[in-house]
Amino acid sequence: MKPYVFITRKMPDHLLSELYEVAEVKMWEHEDIPVPFDVLQEELERANGLFSLVSDPIHSEHLESAPHLKVIANMAVGYDNIDVQLATKKGIMVCHTPDVLTDTTADLTFALLLATARRIPEAARYISNDEWKQWSPYLLAGMDIHHKTIGIVGMGRIGEAVAKRAKGFDMNILYYNRSRKEEAEQQLGATYCSFVELLQQSDYVVCLAPLTSETKELFDEQAFQEMKNSAIFINASRGGLVKESALQEALEKGIIHGAGLDVFAEEPIRANHPLVQLPNVVAIPHIGSATVETRDAMVKMTVQNIIRVLKGERPLAAVNLKELGV
């Protein structure tokens, strides 16, 4: 009998052909609606493999009623939506999709920085609202990017790719991680500093660290207070790293100058979200890795991760390999 794999969202069929060969596959047949809690729970009573998304919380209730589950393959590099500790305890491999999305997400992160600093969405609205009457010296004047200081919190795969882009803009690069990246320091001219030093010195503070118990609400009142009044905060990792009420206050009171946000504490957000209402915020809907090429690559990698684990082979990327003794 073939193993049973459940996919939590409608995926392009042509990318699943290899999976169809080795498994019985069922897909939640909606592109824009997440699978309801009870449907997922019911599917997991039977499933050997799960193809999940960042928008699917896979928590204890699910895992406790998943007696046959061998692999959860998240179509994302981040995996904070999954209770990895419990999965590991139950012997379930948790896979993800690093590397294939690094450059695409770095492009978007840098685009968000440019868009926020140079007020591009506001400028586009200016024309579509038919407000442009004549050229004026300070019309929609923004902030320079070149030769300014960028501070990257979370200098991992995407952080380094953002630093590479910043180097091309002649920026001074600071970074903060728990560990030093000496190769990046040499190749990119990046300087390691403490979190507080980074906040105090950066014109652009870019958040690219994962959401963990350690990083939850790392950007709170105190963090925004440390930043320059002229600083722009960019978040392309997870909304949970930010205390949103503190960010709102910092933006309203001029404690910082602006923010570009791809991610939010609770997603999706609506147009009436307090941060979206602010004129100095550019908000976009978690599209860091959203190009057709990269999303295809992520689907393919997720499929390969599932197939490999079901065949008893080593997956392309998993977060609990060591803990499972693989």
Instruction: Give residues 110-169 in contact with ligand NAP (rule: CB under 6 A).
Output: 153-159
- Asked whether position 155 contacts ligand GLV by CB under 6 A, the answer is no
CB-nearer residue toward ligand GLV: 161 or 174: 161
Question: At closest approach, how far in Å is the CB of 148 from ligand NAP?
Answer: 22
Q: How many CB atoms lie within 10 A of CB 105?
A: 24
Question: At closest approach, how far in Å is the CB of 48 from ligand GLV?
Answer: 24
178 catalytic per annotation: no
**Rounded-to-integer distance, Cα 253 and Cα 251, Å:** 6
- Asked whether position 101 contacts ligand GLV by CB under 6 A, the answer is yes
Per-residue burial over 246-276, b if 16 or more Cβ lie within 10 Å, else e, is bbbebbeeebbbbbbbbbbbeeebeeebebe
Question: At closest approach, how far in Å is the CB of 144 from ligand NAP?
Answer: 25
Query: Of residues 18, 182, 183, 267, which has the active-site annotation?
Result: 267
CB-nearer residue toward ligand GLV: 4 or 219: 219
Q: Reduced to 3 states, what is the DSSP secondary structure of residue 207?
A: strand
- Asked whether position 283 contacts ligand NAP by CB under 6 A, the answer is no
Considering only residues 56, 262, 317, 319, which one is a binding residue for ligand NAP as defined by CB under 6 A?
A: 262
122 catalytic per annotation: no
Question: At closest approach, how far in Å is the CB of 38 from ligand NAP?
Answer: 27
Where in the sequence numbering do the catalytic residues fall?
Answer: 238, 267, 286
What residues line the site for ligand GLV (CB under 6 A)?
Answer: 54, 76-78, 101, 288-289
What residues line the site for ligand NAP (CB under 6 A)?
Answer: 77-78, 98, 101, 105, 153-159, 176-179, 208-212, 214-215, 236-238, 262-263, 286, 288-289
